[in-house]
Amino acid sequence: MHTTLTTASSPVSVSARVGAMILGLATARGVPAASLMADVGFDPAWLHDPDARMPLAVESRLWDEAAHRSGDPDFGLHAAAAIRPGLFQVLDYAVRTAPTLGVALQRLARYNRLLHDAATFDIQRQGPVVSIEHRFTHPGARASRHAVEFTLASLVVVAAQIGACPVQAVAVEFAHEAAGNLPTHRALFGVTPRFGAPRSRLLLAAAVLQHPVPAADAELSRIVTAYADSLLDRLGPAAPSWSERVRQALLQGLAGDGATMPAVARQLGLSERTLQRRLRDEGTGFAPLLDAVRRELALRWVGEARLALGEVAYLLGFSEPSAFHRAFRRWTGATPHAWRRQHSQPQATIARTPSVPPV
């Protein structure tokens, strides 16, 4: 539900309520709050300001230092397990007053910007499962692994709380490498996560989202969502970074002739020079973004046994399979064939392409 970055144009921030939650759990485990706040740069005044927000560097340091000083390698998971109603106020109440778990999830995706400017939830129906991917729209944004694990674990915890029944994941994937205690992950998610994945996401059975919320209050729900919408209006429209706009253009044009700087610049209504300058202002460039998009999709599609490797090379916009094989070895240190043997996923949980309708 969160994280932060500062760009050349506008700062990306996260609600200080997240920091207050971390501090509360750390303090309960014997960590002195005053020294923790001083060392990570968390202003104590933020604790008394309901509208205060903090930068990513502070939040990430807070997660990591709280985990380190408390001696808890699963700090993020335990923070999720300790969630109680009202912790994140308007966002929390909007989610908890929804009529079904599916509507609650849609509200989380819509109103999460009240907590975080750049973190998003991408919800996709993939046959019998629903994929909930958590990612950032700004380049260079990196969350503490405790923040990522808290975010995905909180989906399961809150769903079980408001649905009044246990919720078990079909699968869990983390982009970071394995750390912490796997029994803790299994106890919370019901499955063993996959680490070092192309992205961080939670897979739930699609039927789970039809579960009603027994305590749903239609009138309260109407009042809360109206207020949440007014807060979003006050924030103004969320402007995607130029890096994210290029990323989306590349996702649409990889298999054709749209994966070039001239083509993407035309699609975005910019000159090549202007696009290069705006990407440079965000600390990146066209070539790194193209490479990152290709790598992300390559790891996803090579793991899908129903796609021939030659087809994957074409979908990624490579002129010939040999160029794809060289790139894949550079990304992973392995050939596509070797990676497929090791990472092939069950067909029931992985969609053929990313172009599936949202929930």
Which tens digit of pLDDT belongs to each residue from 168-187?
Answer: 999 999 989 888 789 999 99
Q: Which domain holds residue 229?
A: 5-235
Residue 133 domain-assigned (yes or no): yes
Q: Does the residue 174 lie in any domain?
A: yes
Instruction: Give pLDDT tens digits for 74-107.
Output: 999 999 999 999 889 999 999 999 999 999 999 9
On whether both 184 and 306 belong to a single domain, the answer is no
* Overall number of domains in the chain: 2
Are 23 and 137 contained in the same domain?
Answer: yes
pLDDT digit string (tens) for 104-137? 999 999 999 898 877 888 888 888 999 999 887 6
- Phi, psi at 85, each rounded to 5°: -55, 140
Q: In terms of pLDDT, which residue wins out, 283 or 192?
A: 192
68 and 110 in one domain?
yes
Tell whether 191 is covered by a domain: yes
Last residue of a domain, one of 217, 235, 253: 235
Residue 92 in any domain: the answer is yes
For residue 4, the model assigns a pLDDT of 34
- We report the CATH number of the domain holding residue 62 as 3.90.1520
Query: Mind listing the pLDDT tens digit for each residue in 249-277?
Result: 888 877 667 788 999 998 888 899 989 98
Q: What is the pLDDT of residues 300-335, one digit of tens each?
A: 888 887 889 999 998 898 888 899 999 999 998 889
Q: Which element (helix H / strand E) includes 290?
A: helix 286-302
In a domain, 141, yes or no: yes
> Residues 132, 123: contact at Cβ < 8 Å?
yes
Shared-domain flag, residues 27 and 100: yes
Average pLDDT rounded to a whole number, residues 138-147? 77
- Residue 91 in any domain: the answer is yes
Whether 60 is covered by a domain: the verdict is: yes
CATH of residue 303's domain is 1.10.10.60
Q: Are residues 25 and 52 in the same domain?
A: yes
In a domain? residue 332: yes
At residue 54, φ and ψ (nearest 5 deg) are -130, 155
Same structural domain for residues 263 and 172? no
User: Do 260 and 300 share a structural domain?
Assistant: yes
Write the DSSP symbol of residue 131.
E
* pLDDT reported for residue 8: 33
Residue 79 has φ and ψ, to the nearest 5°, of: -65, -40
Shared domain check, 269 and 226? no
pLDDT computed for residue 237 by the predictor: 65
